[in-house]
Amino acid sequence: MLALILARPGPICDGLVALLRARPDVRKIVQTTGPIDALDFAQTIHPDITLVHTSSLSQGLVSFITQIKKICDNPLLMIVAREEDRKTAITQGADIVIMEGLSSEKLAIHISTLLQQYSETKSVEFAE
């Protein structure tokens, strides 16, 4: 699996990387700090999961979600700081939206669940 992380350097980004590295099915992690780079990487590598910390989006949350979903319809996990961003991300189609401050254990469970659902969906699609 390929994972794309859009997050500013710091504890949240480091935590996401650590959680993904602990998973044997994740073979490559691409990190970026800007939404334009994230969209370019998504077009190039077609990640299996995209994790976004909305602090890396100065504005344009709706635009980013719309564009990333057009490029690759993979699971999108978003970490938000504001309730308004949470509601917007859900409305725009993010698969899982988490408020900042969630424990790493719960975040790991959410990531595992999302990847499991995605892998089951992919295997069903390939079986047809």
Note the pLDDT of residue 35: 93
Cα–Cα distance measured from residue 23 to residue 98, given in angstroms and rounded to the nearest whole number: 20
Note the pLDDT of residue 64: 94
* Sign of the dihedral through C-alpha 69, 73, 79, 84: positive
Note the pLDDT of residue 124: 31
- Architecture of the domain delimited by 2-127: 3-Layer(aba) Sandwich (3.40)
Cα–Cα distance measured from residue 128 to residue 126, given in angstroms and rounded to the nearest whole number: 6
Q: pLDDT by residue for the chain (128 residues), tens digit each?
A: 899 999 999 888 998 898 899 888 899 999 999 999 999 999 999 999 999 999 888 778 999 999 999 998 888 999 999 999 999 999 999 988 988 887 778 878 878 887 777 666 653 332 22
Note the pLDDT of residue 120: 67
Evaluate if pTM is beyond 0.85. Answer: no
